[in-house]
Amino acid sequence: MPNNTIKLKHGAGGAPMSDLISGIRHSLEFTGDWKGTLDDGAYLKAGNKYLVFTTDSYIQSPYFFPGGNIGKLAVTGTVNDLAVMGAEPIALTLSIIIEEGFKKEHLDTIIDSVNTLSKKLKVPIVTGDTKVMPKGQLDGIIINTAGIGTTKDIIRNENIAPKDKVIITGTIGDHGGAILATRFDYKTDLISDCRPVLDIMRLLNGKIKSAKDPTRGGIASCLNELADKAKVKITIDEETIPIRKETRAICNILGINPLTLACEGRALLIVSEDDEIEVLELLKKELCPDAITIGTVSPGKKVILKTKISEIFLDNPGGTGVPRIC
Amino acid sequence: MPNNTIKLKHGAGGAPMSDLISGIRHSLEFTGDWKGTLDDGAYLKAGNKYLVFTTDSYIQSPYFFPGGNIGKLAVTGTVNDLAVMGAEPIALTLSIIIEEGFKKEHLDTIIDSVNTLSKKLKVPIVTGDTKVMPKGQLDGIIINTAGIGTTKDIIRNENIAPKDKVIITGTIGDHGGAILATRFDYKTDLISDCRPVLDIMRLLNGKIKSAKDPTRGGIASCLNELADKAKVKITIDEETIPIRKETRAICNILGINPLTLACEGRALLIVSEDDEIEVLELLKKELCPDAITIGTVSPGKKVILKTKISEIFLDNPGGTGVPRIC
């Protein structure tokens, strides 16, 4: 592939994507009164509240997977982008692009999932768009959702200080693992963790300093983004990171670092040292039995992974990662 | 193509697409306090204003065309969807999906166009998403934009009554014609009409009863949508419809009805009989020298095309139309 073309790694959620996106962002000079344009969503002060605006495209293949489908994923992902900023979603859009010849029955199932989740969350899909591309010009289906939400207090990525604690709400990489298992036809019990984290953010309202949903590029990418933005060092203790045996096995076979594998229903939370115990107890009791502290913030920069015998830099993933995983 | 699959006609902006979309809409039962969910955008009462929310995906091929590119189109289209509802856009999102191997230089040109138009209109692109699909799984580039706007007065599709007049702000089908000429390598001087109609809507503020931007499916599709929603008959006088000779020639060669061909910078306006002259004069003087009244509303239903010697039904286009034209 020639040098002056877009590569798969540009879509993988790590350093090359950051470069491409920040290139695009820098070309887009005019942001008006909006802030947070490099976070999960942008926000605008409107009266005594903030309006939050976000979008994501979902290109996942296969579009059906253990634990959901691309429709559930598209609602979940955009709701989660609003939720980790502390916002209550008030509406979503739904744009679908379908390959000619796509099975109507599959589309119905996908729309059913969108509908079920929209009703359950009481977040309406208010408008949308449908396009069809000729056979061979698109593989399957693409969904884009945009979402708006409101909040009195924005949770910003950079609101992190030394001594803060890093909590993950459950096992990492279940989504990525389940997709890979489906794609390579491995027999596993892995189920995608795809779920809205809105209830988690509501439960912990006021106690979260910073939050991310570690999708593309996994927790490795999110931690690097947080350390960069907040200008701090984050040290993660490998032994504490919850991961399923089967996810680890798939990663071993395929040579993928599970720390770069997508979650679609976990929240990576930064809390102050003082709130750590209370937050963990609440999480474990109410919603996330596997929630655990995996790291600590200190002065400095970069992300450090403490393994059994050493401390290494956990870099922003730079390779191609896993294409079309979310 | 088996019966139970999605066909190209489902994306062409006419009757089959209406069926598919209203099928999807009906499956999406929960719209909360939002209204207008079948118009160009949905709206929600927020204080003394309305918040308007819209989205569109742009799959156009070729992505460069005389008069613009897919980036300009993506900003224009979403701004226009807000504008025809009477809203002032306050922010857009920009989601790009690129095929692996896409030329970086082409992406830069597309982003430049987005940026130039965003700055000119003072409508910021506040957030976005970038995905890359493996070579062969997507042809070129897809862009999705979502937009939010505000207005004190919503312009609704169904606000049409007998005796109202139908005005078009310029020649029809220039966009579709230019795309077809490029695609089939015809030598013409056709240039896409791709432009925001925000200035037109601002100029006529308070004088427009109903408005559409006739993109997919052209004015044939829009007129049928308006007649349906407002439960009126709309009669169009063929002789008055402004169309370029070259657009007509291309349509003749390819067997396409120019009334179904996409415009990307025209507004189809419904005004009261009393305002017709003033609106036309304003339009011609300020922004649209070719603006002209092309039809009249009366009691009844359907769209009637008055030709030189007869009156025929102008149906909602039902065929495949022109794929990937916007």
Residue of A nearest to B17 (CA): A130
Q: What pLDDT does residue B302 have?
A: 97
Residues B168 and B51: beta-carbon distance below 8 Å: no
Residue-range domains of chain A with CATH: 15-151 (3.30.1330.10), 165-313 (3.90.650.10)
CB-nearest partner of A55 from B24, B107, B129: B129
**B62-87: pLDDT as tens digits:** 999 999 999 999 999 999 999 999 99
Q: In sequence order, what DSSP letters do the residues of B21-63 get, joined into one string?
A: HHHHHHH----TT-B-TTSSSEEEEETTEEEEEEEEEE--SSS
Q: What pLDDT does residue A209 have?
A: 98
Bridge partners of residue B270, in order along the sequence: B166, B210
Residues B194 and B73: beta-carbon distance below 8 Å: yes
- The answer, for B99 touching chain A at a CB cutoff of 8 Å, is yes
| CA B138 vs CA A233, A284, A317, B26, B59: distances in Å | 39, 43, 24, 29, 10
Dist CA A21 CA B131 (whole Å): 10
Neighbours of A21 (CB within 10 A): 17
Q: Which residues 12-71 of chain B have a CB within 8 Å of chain A?
A: 12, 17, 20-21, 24-25, 27-32, 34, 37, 41-42, 44, 47, 51, 53-57, 59, 61
Q: What pLDDT does residue B187 have?
A: 92
| CA B309 vs CA A61, A257, B43, B81: distances in Å | 55, 73, 43, 36
Q: How near does any CA of chain B get to the CA of A294, in Å? A: 28
Mean pLDDT score, B24-43: 80
Q: Which residues 102-141 of chain A have a CB within 8 Å of chain B?
A: 102-105, 107-108, 111-112, 114-115, 118-119, 122, 124-134, 136-139
Interface with chain A: mutation pick from B70, B127, B143, B322, highest number of A CBs within 10 Å? B127
Q: Do B134 and A324 touch (CB under 8 A)?
A: yes
Dist CA A183 CA B217 (whole Å): 38
- The answer, for B11 touching chain A at a CB cutoff of 8 Å, is yes
Which residues in chain B have their CB less than 8 angstroms from residue A130's CB? 10-11, 17, 20-21, 24
Q: Model pTM?
A: 0.94
Q: What pLDDT does residue A1 have?
A: 67
For each successive 10 residues of chain A (326 residues), what is the average pLDDT?
80 73 72 81 92 96 96 98 97 95 94 94 94 93 97 95 98 96 93 97 97 95 96 98 97 94 97 98 97 98 96 85 79
Which residues in chain B have their CB less than 8 angstroms from residue A85's CB? none
At CA B22, angle to CA B18 and CA B23, rounded to 5?
115
The proportion of chain A whose per-residue pLDDT surpasses 70, expressed as a percent, equals: 98
Interface with chain A: mutation pick from B33, B106, B132, highest number of A CBs within 10 Å? B132
Q: What pLDDT does residue A320 have?
A: 64
Using a 10 angstrom Cβ sphere, with 0-12 exposed, 13-18 middle and 19 or more buried, the burial of residue A4 is exposed
Q: In sequence order, what DSSP letters do the residues of A124-163 get, joined into one string?
A: -EEEEEEEEE-TTSB-SEEEEEEEEEEESS---TT---TT
Q: Do A94 and B61 touch (CB under 8 A)?
A: no
Q: Do A54 and B20 touch (CB under 8 A)?
A: no
Dist CA B215 CA A90 (whole Å): 28
Q: Is the pLDDT of residue B3 over 80?
A: no
Q: What pLDDT does residue A319 have?
A: 66
CB-nearest partner of A57 from B53, B100, B131: B131
Which residues in chain A have their CB less than 8 angstroms from residue B10's CB? 98, 130, 132
Q: How near does any CA of chain A get to the CA of B182, in Å? A: 18
Q: Is the peptide bond before A317 cis (omega within 30 degrees of 0)?
A: no
**B198-228: pLDDT as tens digits:** 999 999 999 999 999 999 999 999 999 999 9
Q: Do A24 and B90 touch (CB under 8 A)?
A: no
At residue B268, φ and ψ (nearest 5 deg) are -100, 115
Which residues in chain A have their CB less than 8 angstroms from residue B24's CB? 94, 96, 111, 128, 130
Residues B169 and B195: beta-carbon distance below 8 Å: no
Q: Can you give B108-171 as a three-state secondary structure string? A: HHHHHHHHHHHHHHCCCEEEEEEEEECCCCECCEEEEEEEEEEECCCCCCCCCCCCCEEEECCC
| CA B28 vs CA A7, B20, B81, B155, B295: distances in Å | 36, 13, 21, 24, 35
| CA B119 vs CA B105, B148, B224, B268: distances in Å | 21, 16, 35, 26
Interface with chain B: mutation pick from A3, A57, A102, A115, highest number of B CBs within 10 Å? A57
Please report, to the nearest 10 degrees, the dihedral formed by the alpha carbons of residues A162, A164, A169, A174 taken in order.
Answer: 10
Which residues contact residue B309 at a Cβ distance below 8 angstroms, ignoring those fewer than 6 apart?
A: none
Q: Do A128 and B24 touch (CB under 8 A)?
A: yes
CB-nearest partner of A24 from B59, B111, B139: B111
Dist CA B319 CA B15 (whole Å): 8
Q: Do A91 and B126 touch (CB under 8 A)?
A: no
Give me the sign of the Cα torsion angle A276, A278, A281, A284: negative
Higher-scoring residue by pLDDT: A178, B46: A178
Helix-, strand-, coil-residue percentages of chain B, each rounded to 5? 35, 25, 40
Residue of B nearest to A125 (CA): B31
Q: What pLDDT does residue B324 have?
A: 83
Dist CA B127 CA B18 (whole Å): 30
Q: What pLDDT does residue A152 have?
A: 96
Q: What pLDDT does residue B58 have?
A: 97
Which residues contact residue B141 at a Cβ distance below 8 angstroms, ignoring those fewer than 6 apart?
A: B63, B70, B96, B97, B98, B99, B102, B106, B107, B110
Q: What pLDDT does residue B16 have?
A: 76
At residue A294, φ and ψ (nearest 5 deg) are -115, -5
Minimal CA–CA distance to B172: which of B309, B268, B286, B85?
B268
Going edge to edge, which strands form the sheet with A141-151? A42-46, A49-58, A141-151, A88-99, A125-133
Q: What pLDDT does residue A186 have?
A: 92
Residues A300 and A232: beta-carbon distance below 8 Å: yes
- Compute the residue count for chain A: 326
Higher-scoring residue by pLDDT: B254, B17: B254
> How many contacts (CB atoms, under 8 Å) link A and B?
269
Neighbours of B29 (CB within 10 A): 12
Which residues in chain A have their CB less than 8 angstroms from residue B78's CB? none
Q: Can you give A231-265 as a three-state secondary structure string? A: CCEEEEEHHHCCCCHHHHHHHHHHCCCHHHCCCCC
Q: How near does any CA of chain B get to the CA of A4, in Å? A: 5
Dist CA A163 CA A172 (whole Å): 23
CB-nearest partner of A131 from B57, B105, B122: B57
Give the pLDDT band (50/70/90) at residue B113.
very high
Residues A135 and A99: beta-carbon distance below 8 Å: yes
Dist CA B266 CA B212 (whole Å): 9
Which residues in chain B have their CB less than 8 angstroms from residue A42's CB? 91, 126-127
Q: Is the pLDDT of residue B231 over 90?
A: yes
Residues B37 and A128: beta-carbon distance below 8 Å: no
Side chain identity, residue A94? L
Give the pLDDT band (50/70/90) at residue B319.
low
CB-nearest partner of A119 from B6, B29, B98: B29
Q: What pLDDT does residue B4 have?
A: 86
